[in-house]
């Protein structure tokens, strides 16, 4: 799997699937989640509501992933995953890593080859960007999924620079 980094807005990505840093309600929020629902239109929320009424009555657990249509977005699917809230008092890295492995598993199930990821948990959920980048990149690097490209879409020059540095370290 090739790892690529771009700076930009994930809602504009022409990938097979884009990953949403959602919350367990699946019913929307701020950050990437807000942008995806706003630009993707009501079809996404409709499918999320249906998931809440069936498979995920209690919400999507942290570290898991599920796909819906991408509505009006250029991508074909949105893979919703729930990152852990950062906590100094407890190591939740395995849950953040799980978001990436489970999203890739869902992508494989769909036959998606190019998958775009945001920096899950590194916004509202407070994860320090360098650590979030290290976990994201190393987890994807170790994956044996059939996805051919994992594209990290970083919002802003600072996030991009952090990912670039962590990728360089990983490859060193």
Interface contacts to ligand AR6, rule CB under 6 A: 9-11, 21-23, 29-33, 35, 83, 118-125, 153, 155, 159
**Pairing assessment for the beta strands 65-69 and 114-117 based on DSSP bridges:** unpaired
Q: Which is nearer to ligand AR6, 145 or 151 (CB)?
A: 151
CB of 28 to ligand AR6, least distance (A): 6
Spatial separation of the C-alpha atoms in residues 3 and 23, rounded to whole Å: 25
Please indicate whether residue 130 is annotated as part of the active site: no
CB of 32 to ligand AR6, least distance (A): 4
DSSP state of 52: H
CB of 17 to ligand AR6, least distance (A): 14
Laid out side by side, the sheet with 2-7 consists of 2-7, 149-154, 114-117, 17-22, 77-82, 65-69
Q: Which is nearer to ligand AR6, 75 or 122 (CB)?
A: 122
Q: Which is nearer to ligand AR6, 111 or 156 (CB)?
A: 156
Q: Which is nearer to ligand AR6, 29 or 41 (CB)?
A: 29
Tell me the β-bridge partners of 16. Answer: none
CB of 40 to ligand AR6, least distance (A): 11
Tell me the β-bridge partners of 20. Answer: 80
Token readout for 63 is: 């570290």
Say if residues 69 and 43 touch (Cβ distance below 8 Å): yes
Active-site choice (16, 33, 91, 131): 33
Token readout for 21 is: 């840093």
Catalytic residues: 33
């Amino acid at each position: 799997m090739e790892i690529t980094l771009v700076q930009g807005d994930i809602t504009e990505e022409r990938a097979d699937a884009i990953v949403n840093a959602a919350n367990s309600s699946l019913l929307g929020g701020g950050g990437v989640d807000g942008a995806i629902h706003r630009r993707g239109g009501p079809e996404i929320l409709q499918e999320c509501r249906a998931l809440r009424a069936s498979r995920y009555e209690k919400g999507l657990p942290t570290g898991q992933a599920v796909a819906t249509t991408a509505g009006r977005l250029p991508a074909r699917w949105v893979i919703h995953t729930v990152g852990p809230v950062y906590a100094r008092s407890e190591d939740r890295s395995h849950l953040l890593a799980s978001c990436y492995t489970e999203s890739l598993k869902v992508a494989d199930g769909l036959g998606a080859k190019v998958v775009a990821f945001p920096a899950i948990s590194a916004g509202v959920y407070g994860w320090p960007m360098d650590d979030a980048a290290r976990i994201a990149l190393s987890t994807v690097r170790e994956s044996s999924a059939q996805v051919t490209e994992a594209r990290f879409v970083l919002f802003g020059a600072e996030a991009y620079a952090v990912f670039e540095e962590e990728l360089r370290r990983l490859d060193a």
